[in-house]
């Protein structure tokens, strides 16, 4: 046994003989209750060790301990390929996936903060009347009893209530019923009378029902005393008064009448009493009736009606009013504009709110857009109007709840002048201030103490992981992978589990170095309560903070899978074998370029103001490597992906109809760009048939090669026979998948190798055709590195697969299903496919969103070389990035900030990295200084 496997399982988690994926039978000891970082090159086997071995086994053992009834609802767990694991605890994985696609899920609901807010508002919220601004209160029996008992002792008190008429009874009938109920006296028109006397009086019989005459029922007459018996009697009488008086009770003392009401009403309005469901947009009771709690409805979308807001009304800003027939609506406005002083030559985005509203509502001189669409609606029996309407329909903010998702009267309930909607719309750092400074009366404080503690804790955790710029109303499905992972991390902290193993996948993704120390604080507090925290990470600061580092490598794929190093940060710096150690100690490094590229052409965006951007003007240079940097939430993505990309697509005529953020104009040399490509981390294909070799179009050449072999020609086989996507050569049973799905009733579906082709995807006569003694299935099973050697004499194939090696994906198998690739791998396969196209492609602007995700220092070096190759082919690159190694190699840096959320949205700096380090207001500059 190795020395790792012999350690004490009380202090270590011992993994012996791990062979999952490319792991080479390794033994690892992970210290318990410590912060442990697993590092290594992309594809070296880090995730195989952390997720597919340790987490999979921890999860499997936990599920095995449950009853078979409970297990039927859980996915089926396979045992990882490992000799044994000792000392393991239940494992919790926090991955970078955006888990929910539910359109109702928000940051507030997924962190449970909203549940606590609903309770808080239903317990201590004060309902304020929208008419007078006074608090709506209802009186309880206790309130009335307290009022009476506070009067001077022996004061004579009369408790009464108004008489309400029943079904047109006469007054005599009404009094007879009261007598049967046991009441003896009433006050008629301020005169106290006995009911019996009134019944004998003939005059009473002629009077109509009680509503025509002011009648009060006397419930009780009592002298104020402090003994329990009297107080109990008063309470009974008050309860009777509320019941008989339909919620009204009158207390008379010394000629003064005090009115009490147990109905929740004020200013002639009846209000609902707050309950938790009253604030729930997932419950029909609390949800807005119009949008059913979604906050959005299908309606006419302003962005589609006015696609280019930099145009004036006269120049055709309003899309549906272009053309001859519909232009009549516009002509009416243009003809009459002077009469009501409407500026038809002013850009739409510079009109005041009043003027914009007028365009929609119209006036006596012209019909507005609302009227226009109403007429189209009325004529939907004609196909052309249906088509036209569909062109301008989209999801718009619900006009009734203004996007709050709740019924209108939920906003009447306030705590410290804020409604629940106000709080969910605050950025979390502002919400934290609100709860810290909340001043409550002692009674409310006592009721809300526990709730406030839970809310404050959870909000503080979210702030600590660098998410202070998010709001609780933000939809979960609009979060980036890094954001949703950090939300899950904060939620785990809020749940305070102990004695578990937390496995995290690069929690620093999307975090600026400024926020990394706060993340480290969160990881340490998770460790300090008694958990083992295992982090797959490349961030230098997190490695420095770790108690223990495990380096898997030395390289990727078949060249990886070994335990290269295990020990402390100080020890790895001195290690000779570990690539990570060489980069950390400065023995290897990513060089700063000798000179920066100069630029002449640029694209300029003016007046960008989407989300938190504050009307900024930015120049993006062409034919160079530009980096857009800034802290999380500063507005980088809004600027590049919400404004620049769609605006440029529109300007060069490739508009695909996606929404563009608000900006004034686009200028500069955009005509020199022929196409725009976003290279993000979305999967390259959802289907299990999509793989790297088909994505870079190398499979076409490989099929041609096999079809040209002697035996294939003799059999009359075409290249299509070697495709696993069309009928012919592929196995008919599994349709070229190599596996068949077995549906299990209560468990996850199982995939088993196809028995007909033995998992080889093709029919036997296709597999009989070989090139250099290998058939097509064996080629698909090769890594890209192996294929490079195998096809060394086939230049057509080499030119297509060589770029995959250049971007550091030599370890990936040619036929590896794309749904098993990580986000970073998918992004680099896209990059390689553009490198394949080479010089023959049109002049392209590439936009990369955090391309260093999942990359080791050594991989980043390769990535930067690929960027240089793309630029040398005449393309331009814009990268959204936090990684200092990429920023220091850029030709031009645009720093957005200075902070996230409301305090961001400005361009802090534009220029070269050398000038950025002198900029006082830039966080990026201060961290970049250390690299120079």
Phi (first) and psi of residue 36, to 5 degrees: -115, 130
Strand-pair partners of 444: none
Q: Are residues 300 and 289 in the same domain?
A: no
* Per-residue pLDDT, 840: 65
Which residues, in sequence order, are CB contacts of 681 under 8 Å at separation 6+?
A: 481, 823, 824, 826, 827, 849, 850, 853
Give the closest residue to 511 by CA, choosing from 548, 478, 474, 539.
539
How is residue 289 written in tokens?
């009736």
Res. 448: pLDDT tops 60? yes
> What are the helix (H) ranges across 496-610?
513-528, 540-545, 569-574, 579-584
**pLDDT tier at 138, thresholds 50, 70, 90:** very high
CATH number, domain of 668, equals: 3.40.50.300
Q: What angle do CA 476, 477, 480 make, to 5 degrees?
A: 90
Residues 757 and 811 in one domain: yes
Please check whether residues 752 and 735 belong to one and the same domain: yes
Q: Single out the residue in 381, 397, 413 at which a domain terminates.
A: 397
Q: Of 11-15, 187-191, 474-478, 786-790, give the lowest mean pLDDT range.
A: 474-478
CA nearest neighbour of 188 among 157, 213, 219: 213
Quick one: 232 and 190 in the same domain?
yes
**Confidence grade of residue 299 (pLDDT, cut at 50, 70, 90):** confident
Closest CA to 919 of 927, 899, 618: 927
- How many domains does the chain fold into? 6
pLDDT of res. 209: 53
Residues 6 or more apart in contact with residue 241 via CB below 8 angstroms: 159, 160, 161, 217, 219, 248, 249, 250
Do residues 857 and 588 make contact, with C-beta atoms less than 8 angstroms apart?
yes
Claim to verify: residue 256 and residue 321 sit in the same structural domain: no
pTM attached to this predicted model: 0.81
Extract the tokens encoding 326: 């519909």
pLDDT beyond 70 at 339? yes
- 333 and 313 in contact (C-beta within 8 Å)? yes
Identify the pLDDT of residue 37.
98
Half-sphere exposure of 669 (CA within 13 A, CB side): 13
Kindly state the average pLDDT of the residues 737-763: 82
pLDDT over 70 (residue 76) = no
The dihedral built from the CA positions of residue 482, 487, 492 and 493, taken in this order, carries a sign that is: positive
Q: Is the pLDDT of residue 465 over 90?
A: no
Between 15-19, 321-325, 846-850, the lowest mean confidence (pLDDT) is in 321-325
**pLDDT tens for each residue of 470-508:** 999 988 887 877 788 888 888 887 777 889 999 999 888
What's the distance, Cα to Cα, between the start and end of the chain in Å?
Answer: 46
* Predicted confidence (pLDDT) at residue 28 exceeds the cutoff of 60: yes
Give DSSP secondary structure letters for 536-604.
Answer: E---HHHHHH-SEEEEEESSSGGG--EEEEEE-HHHHHH-SS-HHHHHHTTSS--PPPSSPPP---EEE
Quick check: is 850 in a domain?
no
**Mean pLDDT for the stretch of residues 35-64:** 92
Q: For residues 157 and 300, state if they share a domain.
A: no
CA–CA distance, 787 with 123 (Å, rounded to integer)? 68
Question: 828 lies in a domain?
Answer: no
Whether 874 and 901 map to the same domain: the answer is yes
The answer as to whether 838 is a domain residue is no
What CATH number did the domain enclosing 707 receive? 1.20.1580.10
Would you say residue 436 has pLDDT above 60? yes
Which domain does 468 fall in, by range? 102-137+267-294+401-454+464-472
Whether 150 and 119 map to the same domain: the answer is no
Q: Is residue 252 part of a domain?
A: yes
Please state, in angstroms and rounded to a whole number, the distance separating the CA atoms of residues 780 and 737.
12
Structure tokens at 538: 């490349």
Position 350 scores a pLDDT of 87
Place of tokens 């934290």: 432
Q: Which residues contact 48 (CB under 8 A, 6 or more apart)?
A: 18, 20, 21, 22, 23, 561
* Cβ atoms < 10 Å from Cβ of 330: 21
450-459 residue pLDDT tens: 999 999 999 9
**Same domain, residue pair 503 and 577:** yes
- Lowest mean per-residue pLDDT among 74-83, 362-371, 534-543, 631-640: 74-83
Kindly give, in sequence order, each residue whose CB lies less than 8 Å from that of residue 200, ignoring residues fewer than 6 positions away. none
Reported as a single tens digit per residue, the pLDDT across 851-863 is 998 899 999 999 9
Domain final position from 242, 263, 284: 263
Asked if residue 565 belongs to a domain, the reply is yes
Cβ proximity of 636 and 570 under 8 Å: no
Residue 842: other Cβ atoms inside 10 A: 10
Q: pLDDT class for 181, splitting at 50, 70, 90?
A: very high
**Which pLDDT does position 208 carry in this prediction?**
58
pLDDT > 90: percent of the chain: 67
pLDDT at 842: 80
CB within 8 Å of 778: residues ≥ 6 apart = none
**pLDDT of 534 above 60:** yes
Alpha-carbon distance of 258 to 158, in angstroms, equals 10
**Distance in angstroms (rounded) separating the CA atoms of residues 466 and 35:** 20
Element (H or E) spanning 220, and its range?
A: strand 215-223
User: How many CB atoms within 10 Å of residue 414?
Assistant: 16
Report if residue 343 sits inside a domain: yes
383-400: pLDDT as tens digits? 988 998 988 888 888 889
pLDDT computed for residue 693 by the predictor = 93
Lowest mean pLDDT among 233-237, 340-344, 683-687, 779-783: 683-687
Greatest CA span in the chain, whole angstroms? Answer: 125
pLDDT digits (tens, 9 = 90+) for 340-368: 999 999 988 889 989 999 999 999 999 99
Q: What is the pLDDT of residue 422?
A: 94
pLDDT confidence of 207, banded at 50, 70, 90? Answer: low
- Residues 288, 423 within the same domain: yes
23 in Cβ contact with 53 (< 8 Å): yes
- 667-681 pLDDT per residue, tens: 999 999 999 999 887
Of 506-520, 755-769, 917-931, the least confident: 506-520
Q: Is residue 832 part of a domain?
A: no
Q: Which among 88, 47, 97 is positioned nearest to 64, based on CA atoms?
A: 88
For residue 217, give the CATH number of its domain.
3.30.190.20
- Does residue 769 sit in the same domain as residue 630? no
Per-residue confidence (pLDDT) for residue 556, from 0 to 100: 85
Confidence band of 839 (pLDDT split at 50, 70, 90): low
Query: Is residue 589 included in any domain, yes or no?
Result: no
pLDDT at 798 over 60: yes
Residue 657's pLDDT band, with cuts at 50, 70 and 90, is: low
Mean pLDDT taken over the chain: 90
User: Does the bond joining 205 to the residue before it have cis omega, within 30 degrees of 0?
Assistant: no
Q: pLDDT-based confidence at 98, cuts 50/70/90? A: low
Q: Which of 210-224, 580-594, 796-810 has the lowest average pLDDT?
A: 210-224
Are the beta carbons of 546 and 35 closer than 8 angstroms? yes
> What ranges in 95-206 are assigned the alpha helix state H?
107-110, 113-124, 141-149, 171-181, 195-200, 202-206
280 versus 75: the higher-pLDDT residue is 280
Q: Does residue 117 contact residue 455 with C-beta atoms inside 8 Å?
A: yes
Residues 6 or more apart whose Cβ sits within 8 Å of residue 919: 895, 908, 909, 925
Residue 195 to residue 886: CA distance in whole angstroms: 95
> What is the DSSP secondary structure assignment for residue 163, as one 8-state letter?
P
Q: What is the structure's pLDDT at 190? A: 84
Q: What is the pLDDT of residue 485?
A: 80
- On whether both 180 and 64 belong to a single domain, the answer is no
- What is the pLDDT, as a whole number, of residue 605? 95
What band does 112 get if pLDDT is binned at 50, 70 and 90? very high
Q: How far apart are CA 777 and CA 757, in angstroms?
A: 11
Q: b vs e for 746-770, b when ≥16 Cβ sit within 10 Å of the residue's Cβ?
A: eeeeeeeebeebebbbbbeebbebe
Residue 886: helix, strand or coil by DSSP? helix
Tell me if residue 449 falls in helix, strand or coil. helix
């Amino acid at each position: 046994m190795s020395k790792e496997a012999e350690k004490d399982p009380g202090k270590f988690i011992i993994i012996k003989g791990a062979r999952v994926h490319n792991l080479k039978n390794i033994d690892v000891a992970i210290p318990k209750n410590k912060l442990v970082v697993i590092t290594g090159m992309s594809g070296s086997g880090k995730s195989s060790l952390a997720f597919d071995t340790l987490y999979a086994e921890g999860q499997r053992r936990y599920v095995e301990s449950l009853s078979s009834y409970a297990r039927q609802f859980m996915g089926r767990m396979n045992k990882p390929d490992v000799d044994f694991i000792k000392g393991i605890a239940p494992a919790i994985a926090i991955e970078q996936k955006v888990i929910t696609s539910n359109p109702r899920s928000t940051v507030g609901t997924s962190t449970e903060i909203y549940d606590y807010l609903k309770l808080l508002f239903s317990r201590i919220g004060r309902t304020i009347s929208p008419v007078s601004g006074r608090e709506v209160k209802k009186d309880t029996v206790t309130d009335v009893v307290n009022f009476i008992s506070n009067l001077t002792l022996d004061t004579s008190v009369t408790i009464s209530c108004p008489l309400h008429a029943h079904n047109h009874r006469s007054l005599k009938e009404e009094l007879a019923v009261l007598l049967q109920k046991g009441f003896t006296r009433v006050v008629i028109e301020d005169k106290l009378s006995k009911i019996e006397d009134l019944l004998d009086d003939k005059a009473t019989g002629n009077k109509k029902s009680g509503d025509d005459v002011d009648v009060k029922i006397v419930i009780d007459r009592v002298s104020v005393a402090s003994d329990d018996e009297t107080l109990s009697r008063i309470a009974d009488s008050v309860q009777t008064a509320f019941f008989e008086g339909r919620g009204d009770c009158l207390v008379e003392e010394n000629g003064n009448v005090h009115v009490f009401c147990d109905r929740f009403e004020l200013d002639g309005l009846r209000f609902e009493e707050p309950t938790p469901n009253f604030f729930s947009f997932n419950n029909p009771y609390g949800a807005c009736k119009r949008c059913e709690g979604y906050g959005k409805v299908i309606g006419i979308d302003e962005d589609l009606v006015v696609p280019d807001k930099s145009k004036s009304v006269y120049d055709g800003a309003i899309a549906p009013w272009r053309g001859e027939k519909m232009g009549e609506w516009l002509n009416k406005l243009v003809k009459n504009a002077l009469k009501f002083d409407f500026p038809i030559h002013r850009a739409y985005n510079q009109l005041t709110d009043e003027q914009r509203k007028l365009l929609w509502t119209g006036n006596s001189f012209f019909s507005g857009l609302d009227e226009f669409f109403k007429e189209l609606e009325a004529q939907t029996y004609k196909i052309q109007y249906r088509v036209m309407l569909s062109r301008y329909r989209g999801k718009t903010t619900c006009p009734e709840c203004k996007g709050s998702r709740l019924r209108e009267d939920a906003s009447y309930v306030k705590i410290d002048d804020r409604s629940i909607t106000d709080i969910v719309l605050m950025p979390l750092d502002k919400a934290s201030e609100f709860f810290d400074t909340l001043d409550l009366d002692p009674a409310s404080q006592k009721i809300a103490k526990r709730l406030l503690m839970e809310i404050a804790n959870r909000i503080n955790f979210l702030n600590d992981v660098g998410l202070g710029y998010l709001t609780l109303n933000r939809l979960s499905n609009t979060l980036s992978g890094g954001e949703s992972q950090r939300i899950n991390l904060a939620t785990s902290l809020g749940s305070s589990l102990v004695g578990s193993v937390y496995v995290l996948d690069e929690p620093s993704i999307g975090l600026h170095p400024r926020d990394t120390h706060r993340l480290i604080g969160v990881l340490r507090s998770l460790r300090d309560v008694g958990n083992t925290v295992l982090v797959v990470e490349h961030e230098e600061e997190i490695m420095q903070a770790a108690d223990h580092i495990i380096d898997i490598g030395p390289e990727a794929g078949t060249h990886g899978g070994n335990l290269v190093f295990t020990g402390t940060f100080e020890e790895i710096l001195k290690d000779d074998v570990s690539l990570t150690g060489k980069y950390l100690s400065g023995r290897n490094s990513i060089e700063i370029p000798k000179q920066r590229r100069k630029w002449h052409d640029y694209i300029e965006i003016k007046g960008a103001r989407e989300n938190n951007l504050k009307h900024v003007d930015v120049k993006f240079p062409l034919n160079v490597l530009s980096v857009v940097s800034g802290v999380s939430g500063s507005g980088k993505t809004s600027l590049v992906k919400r404004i620049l990309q769609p605006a440029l697509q529109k300007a060069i005529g490739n508009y695909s109809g996606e929404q563009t953020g608000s900006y004034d104009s686009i200028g500069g040399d955009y005509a020199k760009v022929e196409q725009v490509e976003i290279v993000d981390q979305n999967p390259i294909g959802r289907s299990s048939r999509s793989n790297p070799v088909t994505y870079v179009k190398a499979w076409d050449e490989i099929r041609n090669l096999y079809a040209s072999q002697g035996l294939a020609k003799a059999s009359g086989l075409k290249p299509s026979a070697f495709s696993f996507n069309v009928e012919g050569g592929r196995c008919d049973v599994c349709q070229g998948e190599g596996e068949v799905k077995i549906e299990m009733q209560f468990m996850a579906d199982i995939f088993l190798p196809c028995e007909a082709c033995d998992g080889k995807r093709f029919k036997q006569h296709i597999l009989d055709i070989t090139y250099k003694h290998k058939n097509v299935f064996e080629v698909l099973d090769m890594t890209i590195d192996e294929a490079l050697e195998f096809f060394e004499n086939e230049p057509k194939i080499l030119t297509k697969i060589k770029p995959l090696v250049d971007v550091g994906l030599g370890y990936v198998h040619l036929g590896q299903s794309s749904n098993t690739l990580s986000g970073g791998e998918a992004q680099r396969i896209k990059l390689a496919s553009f490198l394949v196209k080479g010089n023959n492609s049109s002049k392209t602007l590439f936009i990369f969103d955090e391309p260093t995700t999942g990359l080791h220092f050594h991989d980043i070096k390769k990535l930067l070389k690929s960027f240089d190759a793309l630029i040398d082919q005449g393309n331009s690159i814009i990268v959204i990035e936090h990684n200092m190694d990429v920023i220091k190699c850029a030709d031009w840096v645009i720093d957005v900030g200075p902070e996230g959320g409301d305090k961001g949205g400005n361009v802090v700096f534009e220029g070269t990295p050398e000038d950025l380090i002198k900029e006082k207001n830039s966080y990026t500059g201060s961290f970049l200084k250390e690299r120079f």
